[in-house]
Amino acid sequence: MTAPRPEKAAVVAAVRDRLSASDAALLTEYRGLNVSAMAELRRSLRAAGGEYTVYKNTMVRLATAELGLDLADQLTGPTAIAFVGTQQDGSAGDAAAVAKALRDFSRANRALVLKGGVLGDKVLSAEDLVALADLPPREHLLALLAGGFQAPLVKLAGLLQALPRNFAYGLQALIDTRSAAAGNDSPSDTDPPSDTDPPSETDPQSETSETDPPSDTDPQPEISETEEA
């Protein structure tokens, strides 16, 4: 791959530095969102502690390659990144709150697609991003820690005590713990039938941010030299 021109290299360096400084970077595809919808999404993310920026995929691909992150499969279509980091008032960002804002907006606006991202140095899939959105807010997790919550979450105390510096790592560990707990709750297919208990009879199981839909006349978000439609 040929080296980017100086102005492109400056954008790559800016993306790389921003990714390095962020606790999390959550990727979405915004194709079909008009200008008013994008503005509303940015407001909701800003209120949750995130900043939503559009970059060209080629710039992000080069920046993530320099950081050793493999996001190639997520860098298709028009991509925007919600960065989560230290706020202007000095408080830590809340990756779960930003993920929740993205998930809630995507439910009301199907044009927004959750693709994944990065939490600390961990690459997230789209499923991980949804799991992150299901976590309690940061303040609630801190309250649990202060109140001395019990096992199995108590195993995360060593990680969560490093908050806010290592909050991203604590969240990822919590996602992994919840996923493992769900797997352990599943019945085993290899357990032998009991010799003393008769088999029981079982019944068969049965199974709004308000935005206008994109209009053909609505202008699409303007893409600068650092952005991609």
- Total structural domains within the chain: 1
CA-based torsion, 147, 45, 77, 19: positive or negative? negative
23 part of a folded domain: yes
Cis peptide before 164 (omega within 30 of 0): yes
105-122 per-position pLDDT tens digit = 999 999 999 999 999 889
Cα separation, 223 vs 88, whole angstroms: 26
Global confidence as pTM: 0.62
183 part of a folded domain: no
Average pLDDT over residues 90-106: 89
| Domain around 13 | 6-134
Cα separation, 51 vs 78, whole angstroms: 17
* Per-residue pLDDT at 74 exceeds 60: yes
216 part of a folded domain: no
Q: Which residue has the tokens 């709750």?
A: 185
Cα separation, 143 vs 161, whole angstroms: 12
205 part of a folded domain: no
222 part of a folded domain: no
Check which CATH number belongs to the domain holding 119 and give it: 3.30.70.1730
Q: Which of 47, 75, 50 is nearest to 61 (CA)?
A: 75
Distance of CA 37 to the CA centre of its chain: 20
User: CB of 228 within 8 A of CB of 57?
Assistant: yes
189 part of a folded domain: no
Other beta carbons within 10 angstroms of residue 49's beta carbon come to 22
27 part of a folded domain: yes
Q: Which of 155, 153, 125 is nearest to 141 (CA)?
A: 153
79 part of a folded domain: yes
127-156 per-position pLDDT tens digit = 999 999 988 766 666 666 565 555 555 555
User: CB of 61 within 8 A of CB of 72?
Assistant: yes
User: If pLDDT is split at 50, 70 and 90, which confidence band does 172 have?
Assistant: low
